[in-house]
Structure 1
Amino acid sequence: MEIKKTALAGTLESSDVQIVVSQGTNGLEFDLVSAVAKQFGDQIQATIEAVFAAYDIQNAVIKVVDQGALDPVIKARAITVCQRALNQVDQPQWEVL
């Protein structure tokens, strides 16, 4: 699926993650900012990539600002940002959950 609009999910509060997604042309391009990127950066990216794969999003620019979020929070924010970017807020894909 193709990104229809730039979308944002999450906050910059402690234990949260903010994800901004916009249209891209070269696959999934990540910009990850996190104090724990060396330890958990690959896992954060893998969690987000799994959600984007479930929505069949293949091209996007993804900006992630992590404030120590746990995996379920990252997944929830990724699902939200995908639905917003695809303009599917009123029609969630329950199988992704």
Structure 2
Amino acid sequence: MKIDALAGTLESSDVMVRIGPAAQPGIQLEIDSIVKQQFGAAIEQVVRETLAQLGVKQANVVVDDKGALECVLRARVQAAALRAAQQTNYNGASYETTSQYVVHPWRQCRHVKHVIRLRR
């Protein structure tokens, strides 16, 4: 991680993810969620899996969840991580993140419109 970066909003059914450089090894994760009692462990698992898929091994991560679905959480974590790493390439494709969402082009979330721009 090179810089602190944000993705998401504090609107209902969304999540704000802040990722930045960490002084200590590992992923330092803080979760604040309206559904933490029921889904806190699942939120942590999704965040850690998504960061592992991106190759992130050291970062400070703050998740402020307002009831986001898993696909939205993954998209927000991906966007914040790519921004924090100042990276636009992932998994063989070049992405341009917007203030909305960044996800794999083949993933869909039925009720959320994803903004994706692929560059070849």
For normalisation by structure 2, the TM-score amounts to: 0.73
Q: CA–CA distance in 2 between the matches of 1:51 and 1:75?
A: 6
Gaps of 5+ in 2: 94-102, 105-120
Match of 1:30 in 2: 29
Does the C-alpha gap of structure 1 residues 45 and 94 become closer, same or farther in structure 2, counting only changes over 3 Å? Answer: farther
| Residue 39 (structure 1) shift | 0.7
Q: CA–CA distance in 1 between the matches of 2:39 and 2:58?
A: 23
Match of 1:43 in 2: 42
Q: Secondary structure at the match of 1:18?
A: strand
Match of 2:74 in 1: 75
Gaps of 5+ in 1: none
| Deviation string, structure 1 residues 52-94 (Cα, Å, up to 9, x no partner) | 10111111111110000000000000110111011113x2335
Q: CA–CA distance in 2 between the matches of 1:65 and 1:43?
A: 14
| Residue 14 (structure 1) shift | 0.3
Match of 2:97 in 1: none
Match of 1:92 in 2: 90
Q: How many residues in Structure 1 have an aligned counterpart in Structure 2?
A: 94
Does the C-alpha gap of structure 1 residues 71 and 94 become closer, same or farther in structure 2, counting only changes over 3 Å? Answer: farther
Calculate percent identity across the aligned residue pairs.
35
- Greater Rg by CA: 2
For normalisation by structure 1, the TM-score amounts to: 0.89
Structure with larger RCO (C-alpha < 8 A, sep 6+): 1
Counterpart residue type for residue 45 of structure 1: E
Q: Between Structure 1 and Structure 2, which shows a larger proportion of helix residues? A: 1
1:10 matched to 2:8? The reply is yes
Q: CA–CA distance in 1 between the matches of 2:74 and 2:92?
A: 14
Q: CA–CA distance in 2 between the matches of 1:52 and 1:93?
A: 13
CA RMSD after TM alignment: 1.6
